[in-house]
Amino acid sequence: MTRRRAILALGGLTAGPALAGVTWLGCILAHLPPLDLTAAQARSTIVLDRAGTLLRPFATADGRWRLPLEPDAVDPRFLAMLTAYEDRRFRAHPGVDAMALLRAAGQWLAAGRIVSGASTLSMQVARLVEPRGERSLTAKLRQIARAIALERRLGKDGVLRLYLALAPYGGPVEGLRAASLAYFGREPARLTLAEAALLVALPQAPEGRRPDRFPEAARRARDRVLDIAAARGVVPAADATAAKAEPVPHSRKPFPMLGPHAAETAVAQEPGRAVHRLTLDARLQARLEPLVAERAAALGPGLSAAALVIDNATGEVRAQIGSAGYFDATRSGAIDMTAAVRSPGSALKPFVYAMAFESGLAHPETLIEDRPSRFGASYAPENFDLTFQGTVTARRALQLSLNVPAVELMEAVGPARFLARLRSAGASILLPRDSAPGLPVALGGLGITLTDLARLYAGLARGGEVPVLRRRLDGPAAGAALPRIAEPVAAWYVADVLRGTPPPESALPNRLAYKTGTSYGYRDAWAVGFDRRYTVAVWLGRPDGAGVPGLVGRTAAAPLLFDAVARLGGDPEPVPRPRDALVATTSALPPPLRHLRRDAGPTDRLRIAYPPDGARIDLGAAEGLPAGLALKALGGTLPLIWLVGGLPVTESDRRQAEWQPDGAGFVRISVLDATGASDSVMVRIE
């Protein structure tokens, strides 16, 4: 086809019958197969935080970065410059600009070469959706037909949405959002005028104008966009001049990579989902990730670290740092250490005390002996510093993390019962192979994940009710019945005790309830702290499990914990005290609770005969009040003290008593005799 004939063919789309010509063109090419937009609509999978901030994008199956973007999330100046530069009549034409076609044809005829193009944004999208290598009039006519079809099918906003997603920006970067992040490290709504102009210019020659390879060519193209925008009144001339003074980027920036382990897990769980909304807080995540990496690096090579922040009220995970650097192979950064099973050291001691408190074995002010002791034939635990404190309160023993008192309470509570409680609260516990639960469990002789440990501590902050962690913003809410790690009074006793634990150097005392742990062989250092609002758990160690001399929870993990808590904002708030908690000095306690005695006990073992453990008791109602519950014990040494939820409710010189419940629900009933022996059951009052 000659140039003059081409001019006449294109001219048929202009003047009076322009719209008729477009319709005629559509009819002529109606035999084209329907346009398949499946590939064009493919987007990168993205993971967002609770506020919609991008945490991490994933490349498409063919390795491209193509992020979803709505026009209303773009700087309006970009859109104004785009249409002024590429397609001034975008909102008026039906997909093809007949006037621009005629102008381009006339210039071609007069100059003997292509002077200016006539492609509309719709035609460019058609070329991106259905790429073809040939450059001919037939190909151009096909492109025009596709552009008209696209506009009819998607409308102007749909076409613009496709352009914003598919426009090439060099290499595997496609679409405005990916380009804005790759070249400027920010979302398209926050572009400067100079940045917006550069991103308008790049798609015309994405490889030849890539600023990371050809910065001077990129600068010239940007300045031309600014000149045209100023000439057409889109931006003030002074602003365009000032924008030209900005440098162009000389390298690409990495895409956001916040919460990489959490994002990876979310995508693996639902691989077909395009957008994942997590409960993470991107700002908090961004504050904690460098802190964790910095502390691990300061402790030496090969060490990693992990941290977890839980909203106690909802169970939402607000921050999850799985390692000291996702891409740091020297620290096995790709391994999510929040899910790794490790030995907790002394970090489980608070739960031993909680069971002892709720069973009536002890109170925070009960005196307990920290002296050289032997349990069984050969087990003789020692304290971390190889010293003994003598007679101390249970409060002081837990705050100093003394080993002998913890083992003594574990012996009274029972290792099997203790492990059953942890598991019933939802924690996955791993014991050494072919090992039965024994007293060393109190000192960390088992395996648990940082996630499960954090959940258990969040349970203490919630009055003993362990939350089900919520990681997806649109995930299911927790059910009505949640597992318990302790009764409310016992949980508050532990929280109150831990709030008085001596803090690390330079930290203020009596602000955060926390506990540390160091595993055998200095393999793991732990610290978990909580207040009314949040629970924060941190771990440091080598992912391969090798020991690290000097890696101690109090000196390595506790400072990291307190710095992480400081980044939450606001002062820690104490856990509210239950109204029936017993606050008393040692001398004011009931006699059996004043001192824990291992060697005392009746020949006839004390046990609760009624109500039986696990019973469901319907007391009925008398004048609107529930009837009294009969309590009966066998064995033991009189007098007996009956406790409900760790609080004494009645003392009797007989083995029978009565207690008046104040409502329905689960309660733990315990009995304590004159020697300090005890028994307890859990029942449900209906």
The answer to whether the beta carbons of residues 346 and 401 sit under 8 Å apart is yes
Neighbours of 529 (CB within 10 A): 27
Q: What is the number of residues in the chain?
A: 686
Phi, psi (rounded to 5 degrees) for 300: 130, 170
Coil, strand or helix at 541: strand
Cα 334 to the center of its chain, rounded Å:
16
The one catalytic residue in 44, 86, 365, 678 is 86
Which amino acid type is present at position 461? A
- The angle formed by the CA atoms of residues 530, 533 and 539, to the nearest 5 degrees, is 35
* Range 46-67 burial, b when 16+ CB lie within 10 A, else e: bbbbeeebbbbbbebeeebbbb
CA Rg, the chain, in Å? Answer: 35
Q: Is 346 a catalytic residue?
A: yes
Coil, strand or helix at 279: coil
Neighbours of 635 (CB within 10 A): 16
56-61 long-range contacts, Cβ below 8 Å, gap at least 24? 56/255, 56/256, 56/257, 56/258, 56/259, 56/260, 56/263, 57/178, 57/255, 57/256, 58/267, 59/172
As a dihedral over the C-alpha atoms of residue 207, residue 209, residue 212, residue 217, rounded to 10 degrees, the angle is 150
Q: Is 332 a catalytic residue?
A: no
3-state DSSP helix/strand/coil percent for the chain, to nearest 5? Answer: 35, 15, 45
First vs last C-alpha separation in the chain: 93
DSSP secondary structure of 213-275? T-HHHHHHHHHHHHHHHHHTTSS-HHHHHHHHTSPPPSSPPPPP-SSHHHHHHHHHHSTT-SE
- In 3D space, the residue among 497, 520, 501, 518 whose CA is nearest the CA of residue 562 turns out to be 501
The one catalytic residue in 346, 359, 373, 519 is 346
Place of tokens 């820690």: 572
- In 3D space, the residue among 274, 379, 299 whose CA is nearest the CA of residue 57 turns out to be 274
**Which region holds residue 522: left if phi is over 0, alpha if psi is between -120 and 50, else beta?**
left
Residues sharing a CB contact under 8 Å with residue 512, sequence separation 6 or more, in sequence order: 499, 503, 529, 530, 531, 562, 565, 572
Phi, psi (rounded to 5 degrees) for 450: -60, -35
C-alpha separations of 402 from 152, 347, 372, 454, 521 in Å: 77, 12, 12, 22, 18
The answer to whether the beta carbons of residues 676 and 596 sit under 8 Å apart is yes
Coil, strand or helix at 540: strand
Cα 379 to the center of its chain, rounded Å:
41
- In 3D space, the residue among 149, 167, 117, 124 whose CA is nearest the CA of residue 33 turns out to be 149
Neighbours of 563 (CB within 10 A): 18
C-alpha 280/C-alpha 287 separation (Å) is: 12
C-alpha 225/C-alpha 205 separation (Å) is: 13
DSSP 278: B
Task: Report H helices in 372-487.
Answer: 394-399, 403-413, 415-424, 450-461
Which amino acids are annotated catalytic? Answer: 86, 346
